[in-house]
Amino acid sequence: MKLYLARHGLTDWNKEMRAQGRKDLSLNAEGRAQAEELRDKIKGIEFTAVYASPLKRAAETVEIAVGDRSEIIYDDRLLERSFGDFEGKVVKSWSELVEGVNIDDITLEEIPGGVEAVRSMLARVDDFLNYLKQHYDDDAVILVVGHGAMSKAFDWVLTEHSADDVFGKTHLGNAEAKEYNF
């Protein structure tokens, strides 16, 4: 199966370096233009199915990029990572916000301030990918439009890692897409 994973276009909070998490924000003008560029890059691909996070920024991106050429299925498993109490705050460094805690430590089950643990994101991605495997043939081509932290979780699950790899080292830019085979 082939999976194309894309991140939503730019929002004002992206520009301001604010943690968005589950805050339901729309694309700005630059983000809409990025979604149009994504549309041009994927226009020749015939998707078996198209999935997206229901948050506005992902929904707007997929609606611009795919238009009416495919039905769009919105799935809560694709929601962005919750950044809890830190949503809306300028994030120069997570260590400044959550002192002494690496929020990307995959062994943590709880993180102060209501930040969703990486393990929870990985479980959502596993559940979603297992769903795809159960419902689509091996030759299916799937588009998923989501978010930055969730793209890191997808990359972690879909690629091999050594014991010393750091979660989140692969990051999609706004309206960037990456192809995976699984």
Contacts of 129 (CB under 8 A, 6+ apart): 157, 158, 182
Catalytic, 135? Answer no
Looking at 8, 60, 116, 147, which residue is catalytic?
A: 8
State the DSSP string of 72-93: EEE-GGGPPPP-GGGTTSB-S-
Distance CA 114, CA 179 (A): 32
Catalytic, 147? Answer no
* Geometric angle at alpha carbon 89, from 83 and 95, rounded to 5°: 70
Looking at 60, 80, 87, 116, which residue is catalytic?
A: 80
Buried/exposed 119-140: b ≥16 CB within 10 Å, e otherwise? ebbbebbeebbeebeeeeeeee
> Catalytic residue positions?
8, 80
